[in-house]
Each structure stands twice: as structure tokens, then as C-alpha cells.
Structure 1
Amino acid sequence: MPNMAAKIRQAVTLYTVSEASFSDKNKDLTAWVFSQVGEAQQIPETNFDISAVLVGCAGSLLLLAVDGLLDAAVAEGVKRPEATKMVVSSAIGMLGLVPAGNHPSVLRENIASPGGCSIRALLELEKLGVRSAYTTAILTAAEKSKGLSK
């Protein structure tokens, strides 16, 4: 099932195939059909629940973080449309570095200069348990997904 980003042809659509019943031609056709709304990824059936949760839920979790950033900017006097452009452009830029082989934690460490604003913000998020909250949220959703697939 593609996610909402299919509207702009940026969805990630996951699929599994039974090797015994799918010819290479059918696999290629399946990948092509799904790629019309973004990226098609063939995954092992054993990973389907967690992968579907990542594709289906990660966007909403990221958007919650964006909302928090926007609220802070507005609280400090920035107009929401301006803040939205800043935050979204920054996020797209940073996330665009990850597929090129840059690990998120290395990028984060490179941004967080000694004594700077970023390291202070990161430390506060860690103190509040944000990383653990994201992990727990995804694992909880994965358990729900396993229940739905039975």
C-alpha cells in the first residue's frame, strides 16, 4: 500500500513476492507499477510488518516533530508560513544527505558544534527521552501491525 506521498510521486511502496509463483517478468511488472507513485521496494515477507510501519507511520512521526519546531518558531515571533519553509527546506536538505552514505548520527554530530545551539537542543531532547519515544512508538505500531496481519 503506498503512502500519502504518492500524491507527489514520492511514496515508498513495499511488496513481497513468492519466488515459486512469480516469474521475473511479473516481478519486473510489479516493481514498475508501484514505481509509478514513487519508489518500489521488494522486501522479505518476514520484514513486512515492521517495514510497513516504518513506511506508513514514520511520516506522521516526522510531521509531529515539524509541528513542534514550528510552534517554537511562532512562539518566538516567526510567522508560521515562513517557519514552515525554513524547517521543511532544512529537513529536506539534511535528509537528502543520508542516501549518499552519510549516517544520520554522523551528520547530527557534525552539526552539533562544541558549545553550540544544536548540541544544547539535542541534549534536551535526549533528556526528555525523544529517541526512546520514537523507538517505542514504532515498536508499538509494529505489534499492532502483527495483530492485523493474523
Structure 2
Amino acid sequence: MTFSKERPFLLVGAGKMGGAMLSGWMADGIDPASILVLDPFLSAEVSNLLTKHGIRHVTDVPEEMTAGIVLVAIKPQMMDEVLPSLAPVIDQETLVLSVAAGTPVSKFQSAFGDIPVARCMPNTPAMVKRGITAVFPNQKVSEEQKSTVTRLLTAVGKVVWLTSEDQIDLVTGVSGSGPAYVFYLAEALREAGKAAGLPDALADELAIATVCGAGELMHQSGEDPAILRQNVTSPNGTTAAALDILMASGGLQPVMTDAVAAAVKRARELAG
């Protein structure tokens, strides 16, 4: 591992994503003595997690300490304020990880010099250890550091490595923002059920259970989604009638393509 009690893993920001990762690391057996959390505003849930595992916590950047890894899990608009304060704990061997959208590697190199930096794009299912995180490393990131990152991020889901930083914006449009699309699908299915005549509570229960169950079936089966769709579609049946609408030329696919393109465009705008 590229961090230790003497050169700790410094988690900067323990909000929903940082807290979810921290929970995953504890479940994965990461030594809590090697982790230091920097956050002046902890939630009760994260505070209890720190107490339970004896994880160290500070509200200001510690003096006379050098970190092995620094994970920056703060909002992009806080970068200009926070990054300069982190410089004293970073040296040429420190790996900086970022889960902040719209913040390029060059931003961290400007703040800390020519050091190992990896941009990560996780998604919110990491909170239930079913996320997927895409990672782009700069050339300074060693194979040992990549192995450490893989282990850390696998604790909250799958990990994929990118070959160019430009791909981060594309990932943002698909998996980074993607959970919201699925949540909206559940909302839309619920409203369609209500419009068809179901009681509100029943439509809600059916829609949520269907989306969750279909996702789990896809996960466990490992089948291509198209195959799973075909498996439940009888010729001239009820599912086929619905898919005739969803798969029409003006149906779901062109809308989803436009939605992802809009997310990618916005991600590029935020990155400047």
C-alpha cells in the first residue's frame, strides 16, 4: 500500500460520497489507523463511523505531516480555497485523487507541482457498494499506486481505467449522472401506473420494485440487456405493445442520446 499511519490516507471531505467510500474501506479491512479525515462539518452518521473504528479526525490541515494519498472529495467551487491549504502535506510521492466533477488534472498540478494525480468519476450507488468508478491517471501515477487505487475503489463497486482525460466528461454523462436517469425512469413508470388507474401507493411500490429487481437481475445474470429484454417479450404480447412505443423512432433511444449529450456538454463547460 502507498499509505500508512506515518504517511496517512488523508480524506478531504467526508460528505455522502466520501462517507460512503470510508464505510466501504472499513468493510474491506483497511487499517483505520492509516486514515485521517479532514472535514469541519461531519454528519452524525460519519461521526459515528469514525468513533466506531477509531479513525482520526481533524478540522484543519495538520502541521508537520506528509500524506501518502490525498483524496479530494469536496465541491468544485471549494477548490480554490482548499487546495492551497493542502500543499504542506503533499510531496513528490503523494498521490492526489479527486472525485470532484469539472476539475482537471492540471488544476492539481498547478497547486502541487508535477506529482501523481488521478481523476475519479464515481457514482452514487457507491453508497450501497454497487457503484462504478472511472479513473484517469496522469503519467506520474505508478503501478503500485494504481493497484492501491483499484483496491480502495473496488470497496464501493467496480473500477474502470481511462486512457485519456477527455473520457471523464463522457463517463460523467453515462454513469456519473446515470443514476438520476434510472430514478426518473422509476418516477415515470410510477406516474404511468397512476394514469392507468392504479392507486398511488401501489403504483409507487410496483415501479420501484420493478426497477430495482430488473437491475439486480441484469447484475446477477451477466446477460446483455438486449437479451434480457427479448427474453421477457412475447411476440404480439403486452410487453411488445409497450416496446413498440418505447423503441419507435421518436422513443426512448434518441431522447437518452440527447440527454447524455447534454450532460457531456455541461461537464465540458464546467471544466472550462
Using structure 1 for the length normalisation, give the TM-score: 0.82
Misfit runs of 4+, over 6 Å: none
The 5-angstrom pairing of residues 65-144 of structure 1 reads 65-98=185-218, 100-127=221-248, 128-144=250-266
Q: Which runs of 5+ in 2 are unaligned?
A: 1-98, 100-121
Q: Secondary structure of the equivalent of 1:22?
A: coil
Q: Summarize the Cα distance change of 1:37–1:101 in structure 2 as closer, same or farther, 3 Å threshold.
A: closer
Q: Secondary structure of the equivalent of 1:54?
A: helix
CA distance in 1, matches of 2:207, 2:262: 28
Q: Summarize the Cα distance change of 1:23–1:102 in structure 2 as closer, same or farther, 3 Å threshold.
A: same
Q: How much identity, in percent, do the aligned residues show?
A: 22
- Mark the structure with the bigger radius of gyration: 2
Q: Does 1:5 align with 2:88?
A: no
- For the 8 Å contact 2:125–2:179, the answer to whether it is kept is no
Residue type of the partner of 1:24?
A: E
Structure with higher helix content:
1
Q: Which runs of 5+ in 1 are unaligned?
A: none
CA distance in 1, matches of 2:155, 2:200: 33
Residue type of the partner of 2:267?
A: S
Q: Summarize the Cα distance change of 1:80–1:37 in structure 2 as closer, same or farther, 3 Å threshold.
A: farther
Residue type of the partner of 2:144?
A: K
User: Number of residue pairs matched?
Assistant: 149
- For the 8 Å contact 1:14–1:52, the answer to whether it is kept is no
CA distance in 2, matches of 1:146, 1:126: 30
Deviations 1:72-109 (A, max 9, x none): 22334444444444333333343344454422222222
Q: Which has the higher contact order (CA 8 A, sep 6+)?
A: 1
Using structure 2 for the length normalisation, give the TM-score: 0.48
Structure with higher strand content:
2
Offset of 1:119 from its aligned partner? 0.8
In the alignment, which residue of structure 2 is the partner of 1:40? 159
CA distance in 1, matches of 2:232, 2:148: 42
